């Protein structure tokens, strides 16, 4: 059994996953305290992780029907993310692993999102093209093995999830904005407003800054009262633009690689409209269950199966990283 922890942002997550990739438990405790600030406050996130992490680990073990004795590997998100938040997970994982002299697998968060596709019972095998779309990252990658990927395109400014969150804030919705905006969009007309998709950005890179600005100007021009009346149409049109912006790049990548299969992952892959739109691309599309798209520790355990685990006590010097992808000894 693999016990994994994920604390890179505001969700405190622990999971137990078997070597075969069966999810025995996956606990996600969302902090729900950042709403009033319109975004995650790093210091508050770290403090809440500290308060929640032991109970979340206990719950994950209990729900899986096992205890630490049954665990042969501890895995943890090492980065990228909020360093203070990551460190709570890293320190907890070190303590748990060291108490039984277990090895520790440091996992890259984005590789974790990709590895959600390797979990049973719907595991897929490389090679495939993969959209990784979360609150902090938006990448189009080629996955040829279980340990990594090759980046084909990335966002030049905001991430897709960030575009959802910022749009939601402009429409007076809470945080995280993606689910809230998507719910509001259900009652709206996606063709009511024409928002930009940055289709003129050639190649496979993404850009969402212009879209956010377009919404800002539209809301300003409409004024408070009409914005309130058109809120559902604004949400639906804005969501439509984000989804199409993602789909345009996916179509370009697929055109360059006929016969390629596609996977989508990351928090934004929980979006209903994106999931439906991707299914209509005419290629094989894999999308993990929504709860495995948004942050969770099961995906970290999944990725850990192909990470070189660090033996005790070497990992006691392990550090977290905020950006990029580093080797384990920082
Ligand atoms: O992967 P994730 O859970 O955390 C990060 O690694 O950032 O992604 C979170 C992002 C947030 O921006 C959130 O608004 C977005 O994913 N998100 C959604 C939906 N669920 C989460 N965006 C659109 N529709 C959703 N249903
Ligand atoms: Zn994530």
Contact in structure between 136 and 161 (CB atoms under 8 Å): yes
- Residue 268 CB less than 6 A away from ligand 1: yes
Q: What's the gap in Å between 138 CA and the centre of ligand 2?
A: 10
Average pLDDT, the chain: 95
Axis-axis angle for helices 177-185, 231-256 (nearest 10): 110
Please report the atom of ligand 1 found closest to the CA of residue 175: 14
pLDDT at residue 36 is higher than 80 = no
Nearest CA to ligand 1 atom 3: 294
DSSP 59: H
- Residue 84 CB less than 6 A away from ligand 1: no
- Residue 80 CB less than 6 A away from ligand 1: no
Distances in Å between the alpha carbon of 223 and those of 108, 165, 175? Answer: 44, 21, 23
Residue-level pLDDT at 320:
97
Q: What is the DSSP string of 76-109?
A: EEEESS-HHHHHHHHHHHHHHHHHTT--EEEEEH
Task: Give the residue-averaged pLDDT of 60-67.
Answer: 98
Tell me which of 26, 137, 139, 176 to substitute to probe ligand 1's pocket, judged by most ligand atoms within 8 Å of the beta carbon.
Answer: 176
Q: Which tokens hold the place of 303?
A: 């990725």
The domains found in the chain, sorted by start residue, are 2-116+293-317 (3.30.420.40), 124-287 (3.30.420.40)
Q: In what order do the strands lie in the sheet with 11-17?
A: 23-30, 11-17, 2-6, 73-79, 104-108
% pLDDT > 70, the chain: 98
What does the pLDDT look like over 165-217, one tens digit per residue? 999 999 999 888 999 999 999 999 999 999 999 999 999 999 999 999 999 99
Q: What's the gap in Å between 300 CA and the centre of ligand 1?
A: 17
Q: How confident is the model at residue 327 (pLDDT cuts 50, 70, 90)?
A: very low
Residues in the chain: 330
Nearest CA to ligand 1 atom 6: 134
Q: What is the DSSP string of 221-276?
A: HHHHHHHHHTHHHHHHHHHHHHHHHHHHHHHHHHHHSTT--EEEESGGGG-HHHHH
Nearest CA to ligand 1 atom 16: 267
Residue-level pLDDT at 325:
63
- What is the rounded CA–CA span in Å between residue 238 and residue 235? 5
Residue-level pLDDT at 330:
28
Closest CA to 208 of 280, 114, 295, 137: 137
pLDDT at residue 42 is higher than 50 = yes
The mean-pLDDT minimum among 24-33, 234-243, 258-267 falls in 24-33
pLDDT at residue 328 is higher than 60 = no
């Amino acid at each position: 059994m693999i016990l994994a922890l994920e604390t890179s942002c505001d969700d405190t997550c622990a999971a137990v996953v078997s070597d075969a990739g069966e999810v025995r438990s996956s606990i996600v405790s969302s902090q729900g305290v950042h709403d009033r600030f319109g975004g995650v406050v790093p210091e508050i996130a770290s403090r809440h992780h500290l308060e929640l992490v032991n109970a979340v680990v206990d719950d994950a073990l209990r729900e899986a029907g096992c205890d630490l004795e049954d665990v042969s590997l501890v895995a943890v998100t090492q980065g990228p993310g909020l360093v203070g938040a990551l460190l709570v997970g890293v320190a907890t994982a070190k303590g748990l692993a060291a108490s039984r002299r277990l090895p520790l697998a440091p996992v890259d968060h984005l590789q974790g999102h990709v590895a959600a596709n390797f979990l049973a019972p719907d595991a897929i095998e490389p090679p495939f093209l993969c959209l990784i779309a979360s609150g902090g990252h938006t990448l189009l990658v080629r996955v040829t093995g279980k340990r990594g990927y090759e980046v084909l395109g990335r966002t030049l400014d905001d991430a897709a999830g960030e575009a959802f969150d910022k749009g939601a804030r402009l429409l007076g919705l809470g945080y995280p904005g993606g689910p809230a905006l998507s719910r509001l969009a259900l009652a709206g007309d996606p063709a009511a407003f024409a928002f930009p998709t940055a289709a003129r950005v050639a190649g496979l890179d993404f850009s969402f800054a212009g879209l956010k600005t377009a919404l800002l100007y539209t809301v300003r021009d409409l004024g408070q009262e009409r914005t309130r009346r058109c809120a559902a149409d604004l949400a639906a049109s804005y969501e439509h633009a984000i989804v199409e912006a993602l789909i345009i790049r996916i179509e370009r990548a697929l055109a360059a690689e006929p016969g390629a299969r596609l996977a989508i992952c990351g928090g934004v892959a929980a979006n209903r409209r994106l999931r439906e739109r991707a299914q209509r691309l005419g290629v094989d599309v894999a999308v993990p269950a929504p709860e495995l798209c948004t942050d969770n520790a099961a995906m970290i355990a999944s990725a850990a199966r192909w990470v070189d685990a660090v033996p005790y006590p070497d990992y006691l010097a392990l550090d977290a990283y905020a950006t990029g992808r580093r080797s384990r000894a920082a």
